[in-house]
Chain A
Amino acid sequence: MISRRRFSKIAAGTGLALAAPALSTSSLAQAQPIKIGTSISLTGPLSGTKNALTGYQLWRDDVNAAGGLLGRPVELVTYDDQSSPAQIPAIYSKLVDVDRVDLLISPYGAVLSAPVMPFVKQRDLFLVGMFALAGNDTVRHDKYFHACPWGPNSQVNWARGFFDLARAAGCTKVAIMSADIEFAKISAAGGKAISEEYRMSVVYDQSYPPNQTDFSAILRNIRAAQPEAVFVCSYPPDSTALIRGLSEVGIGDSVKIFGGSMIGLQYASLLANIGPALNGIVNLHLYVPEPTMRNPAIDGFLARYEPLARAQQLDALGHYVPPFCYAAGQIIEAGVKGANTLNHAQISRYLHANPVQTIVGRATFNELGDWTEKRVLMVQFRGIRGRDVEQFRQPGRQVILDPPPLRTGELVAPFGAARSG
């Protein structure tokens, strides 16, 4: 029960909070809104990314509270693409031709973005990319800016951190396994290219169907090949099954470093479900609450995200997708304010020339709109106990090994020893 005194205190507090933006938005209300359009995978296999919407909404609320863009309020226009690329052409045409949105943000990932790229190139539109690896490498559009820090030439380079760690640990033999899913296959191909560059021999290289539930045959074949590094490109359902298989069958004593590109180990429900079996795995992430990553802006963002996530049953942590959606908004904000216009060419020119400070770090764009600096994290799970989600909000559980400027610890190897600790 909330006592009456407490209640009036809360009311006064929220009243103040509400009143502040109200002052500035009253004049905004009269201006034509600036419309920003995107599609979100609210349903279908990619619906784990639907918390993107919360990221965009929080940015919209903030920018409107601060007086909007060019004195106009910002409005989001979003549709559900059902995780299907076949829906995308009609949705983006509707956004541009019917809803007449002013600026576009791409859908999630390379599969859904692929149909958008020729469209924006043909119409010569500004687009903020979301999570698509090497999204602009084929089309080479000059008005494309990526909100995610995959870095340049990301198809090959994004997972280089894993191989840098492997090389530093003295690995010469690599095993690569991947799910038959777009992102996993791209990762695997990139991994193979870097292995060759680093003169590591690839002793195992196979893919498996998505939704594979039993990995014992694969793990035995890998063990027989005696690799020192195992580069895993998996998706949420098989990530779980694979880690279970690790405990059941084992991977052998030769392995020093295991993981790399396991999608799913960023989501709260999966992390909590796997629990201590995560220990020792080295995997990609884009944000973890380590001291080198944290700043008041992202802390504030996540603090606002968490109650919303609880209420709407979204991913409890929100480390993976939502901060970058907020950053996408910030990129638009910087471009529009800097160019002081909605003209796509001028916004693009401004963004090519000026870095943008986002809640996930400073973004400087190259000619393809990728961040000039790769900022993919390789983190090692350490000291995970039980199945409490809270521990993944604490520092020291997902230690950053790479890139060096953000490092908060050294690789614990071999893998067998890292698993027990």
Chain B
Amino acid sequence: MKRQDVAFAAGAIVVLLMGFGAVHAVANPYFFFAGYVIVQYVVLATAWNILGGYAGYINFGPAALYGAGVYTSALLLKAFGAPLVVNIVAAGLVGMVLGLMMGYLTLRVQGVYFAIATIALVIMLETVVHNIEYLGGARGLALIAPEPPAWAVGRTQFVFLVLLAIAVMSVALARWIERSWIGRGLRALRASEEAAECAGVATLRLKLAACAVSGALLAVAGAPYIYYASYIDPGSAFSLTLGLNTIAMPLIGGTRSWAGPVIGALLLASVQQAATVTISSELNVLMVGLALIVFIAAAPDGLIGLAERLRRKMHA
């Protein structure tokens, strides 16, 4: 292991320990309610960026995969009372399959066409859920999750910790992909698919891998939601706002490295959580819209790119 890797691993462990410590030290549950939403966005943004940032394939429907994860988990809980771990794995598998399907789509369509096809996926899945009576259809589904283990203090604290662990693993996975041959291949693919192919990069295999991993993680992010809210409905599972934030966060943070989506998610999600209870939500959405325009216009490589540019300027 290189020194950087050791530092990263140490950081990851510290984050997990801090989370565990916080659950016991912080009495106020609100912290974990709000924290859940923020950490969920870290997972979503990281997952989205594996395909969108590294490979340059814009998935406009992360909500489709997230929603698939939410509903897979709820279905298993309702049908078998399955434990959370099983639900997370199952959601990951479903997400992976959907991701692979998306991956095969990339054989035929690229660029904008791919982006549009992913929008179609959201509507299709939402329509299907509307028509499945067992999943509650448009009515939604209210389920009371089983009691959490004693060490987790409470239900919210428990799902917060679970999600935090998922987030740490997702970020580690994204970082590993970025630094391995996969990441190099994806970058080549992003620059020019034809050139990459000519240079002997196995583009299809890479794309399939990126789609599968991204899809699986997006779905996994949704798996604990039913434990958090006790209620799911197609509107929030396939939420447009959620999809929008998921795309905006890596773009604001920076899409080239694993840190970008993390920074973007922490920043935007915290601001939004604070904003929910302070300013009107119109201004909240306006803020996201303006941020997107400003970043595309002035800092296309996100905050990380901006920071690097500043550093270079200072050195020059």
| A and B, direct touch (CB closer than 8 Å) | yes
**Interface residue ranges, A against B (CB under 8 Å):** 42-44, 79-80, 82, 84-91, 93-94, 96-98, 111, 114-115, 117-119, 122, 138-139, 179-182, 184-186, 207, 209-210
Q: Which B residues, 240 to 277, have Cβ-Cβ distances below 8 Å to chain A?
A: 241-242, 273, 276-277
Are the CB atoms of B231 and A90 closer together than 8 Å? no
Whether the pair A84, B236 counts as a contact (CB closer than 8 A) is yes
Contact of B233 among A85, A94, A97, A209 (CB under 8 A): A85
Query: How close is A226's CB to chain B, nearest CB, in angstroms?
Result: 26
Q: Which residues of B contact A185 (CB under 8 A)?
A: 137-139
> Is B281's CB under 8 angstroms from A82's CB?
yes
Do residues B281 and A181 form an inter-chain contact, with CB atoms below 8 A? no
Q: A93-B30, A118-B144 are in contact. List 8 more A-B contacts (CB 8 A).
A: A80-B281, A85-B233, A86-B239, A97-B28, A117-B142, A180-B138, A182-B140, A210-B138
Which residues of B are found within 8 Å of A122, using beta-carbon distances? 155
Give the complex CA separation of A182 and B280 in angstroms.
26
Task: Tell me which of B34, B229, B230, B276 contacts A79 (CB under 8 A).
Answer: B276
Interface size on B, residues (CB 8 A): 33
**Interchain CB contact (< 8 A) of A87 among B28, B139, B140, B276:** B276
In the complex where A94-B33, A122-B155 touch, is A89 in contact with B241 (Cβ < 8 A)? no
A34 and B130 CA atoms in complex are apart in Å by 43
Is the CB–CB distance between A98 and B241 below 8 Å? no
What are 28 sample pairs from A and B whose C-beta atoms fall under 8 A apart? A42-B280, A43-B280, A80-B281, A84-B241, A85-B229, A85-B235, A85-B236, A89-B33, A89-B156, A91-B276, A91-B277, A93-B33, A93-B156, A94-B34, A97-B30, A111-B231, A111-B233, A114-B233, A117-B142, A117-B230, A118-B144, A118-B230, A139-B144, A182-B138, A182-B139, A184-B138, A185-B139, A209-B127
The 8 A CB mask of B112-153 against A (1 = contact, 0 = none) is: 000000000000000100100000011110101000000000
Measured in the bound complex, the distance between the Cα atoms of B144 and A138 in whole Å is: 9
> How many Å from the CB of A344 to the closest CB on chain B?
18
Q: Please measure, in the bound complex, the distance between the C-alpha atom of A44 and the C-alpha atom of B138, giving whole angstroms.
A: 17
Q: Which of A86, A98, A179, A186 contacts B30 (CB 8 A)?
A: A98
> A42-B281, A97-B29 are known contacts. Are A86 and B138 too (CB-CB below 8 A)?
no
Kindly state the separation between the CA atoms of A209 and B123 in the bound complex, as whole angstroms: 11
- Closest CB in chain B relative to A103 CB, distance in Å: 18
Is the CB–CB distance between A94 and B277 below 8 Å?
Answer: yes
With both beta carbons as reference points, the residue of chain B lying nearest to A180 in the complex is identified as B138
| Interface set of B (CB-CB < 8 Å, partner A) | 28-30, 33-34, 36-37, 127, 130, 137-140, 142, 144, 155-156, 228-231, 233, 235-236, 239, 241-242, 273, 276-277, 280-282
Report A359 CB to chain B, min CB distance, Å: 29
B275 to chain A, nearest CB (A): 10
- Of all chain B residues, the one with the shortest Cβ separation from A97 is B30
> Complex formed: what's the CA distance from A139 to B139 in Å?
16
Instruction: Write the chain A residue with the least CB distance to B138.
Output: A180
Contact present for B276 and A80 (CB under 8 Å): yes
Q: Are B277 and A93 in contact (CB-based, < 8 A)? A: no
Query: Given A79-B276, A186-B139, A86 and B29 touching (CB < 8 A)?
Result: no
- Tell me the smallest distance from the CB of B40 to a CB of chain A, in Å: 10
Contacting residues, chain A, for B233 (C-beta < 8 A):
85, 111, 114, 182
A91–B235 Cα distance when bound, in Å, is 18
Residues of B within 8 Å of A89, CB to CB, are 33, 156, 228-229
A90 touches B276 (CB 8 A): yes
Report the minimal beta-carbon distance from B130 to chain A, rounded to whole angstroms: 5
Report whether B30 and A90 are in contact in the complex, using a CB–CB cutoff of 8 Å.
yes
Q: Please measure, in the bound complex, the distance between the C-alpha atom of A118 and the C-alpha atom of B33, giving whole angstroms.
A: 14
Residues of chain A contacted by B231 (CB below 8 angstroms): 85, 111, 114-115
Q: Which residues of B contact A82 (CB under 8 A)?
A: 276, 281
A94 touches B281 (CB 8 A): no
A329 to B15, CA, bound (A): 45
B33 partner residues in chain A, CB cutoff 8 A:
89-90, 93-94
Residue numbers in A under 8 Å from B34 (CB-CB): 90, 93-94
CB nearest neighbor in A for B277: A79
Nearest CB in chain A: distance from B190 CB, A: 32
- Select the residue from B156, B242, B277 with max chain A CB neighbours within 10 A: B277
